[in-house]
Structure 1
Amino acid sequence: FLPGVFLIFFVIRFWDGLKKYRRVKASLEGINAASSGMVISAAVLMFLPLEPNYINFGITIGTFLILTFTKLPSPILIIIGLLAGILI
């Protein structure tokens, strides 16, 4: 979380001025691609320990679709999953 905190507290003050530079704009595209790859990698690493069956795959895809196409906050979805895991 430290890089994000640094960005919020220190860089945000002069961020609009930085975005005008060509190198900064180009580096942001690389940072965006790298962070997207890291999120996908984390998702795959979290899915690997699960038993490969249709239920686990369906829950994963269903959770993704709920987060993508509804306005349900992710903490609520986590609590619902936690309660469903306890009940099942």
Structure 2
Amino acid sequence: MTDTIRIDFAIAEGAVIRMLGLIERRGFLVRGLGMTEHESGETASMVVEISARDAGRSLDTLDLQLRRLHGISNVSVSSSAMSFAS
């Protein structure tokens, strides 16, 4: 099963690496990734298509942990898979 997470965050050095590292350390595989910078140039949104490595992985826990990262303003999770262009 594939899930989609949208993360709104402040653009800062290392921000993307921190988010992706947390996702992988929590036992999720990154299946697709898209990112859009907002007009202000100070914030962006990242959409990550993920799948759990096993049934013991919790999206709710991942959501809470992402929200704790510095610079994160919003996290939303959906189970509807999104397709990324090849």
Fold-level match, TM-score > 0.5? no
More helix by share: 1
Q: Give TM-score scaled by structure 1 length.
A: 0.30
Task: Choose between structure 1 and 2: higher strand proportion.
Answer: 2
Query: Higher relative contact order at CA 8 Å, sep ≥6: structure 1 or structure 2?
Result: 2
User: TM-score, normalised on structure 2?
Assistant: 0.30
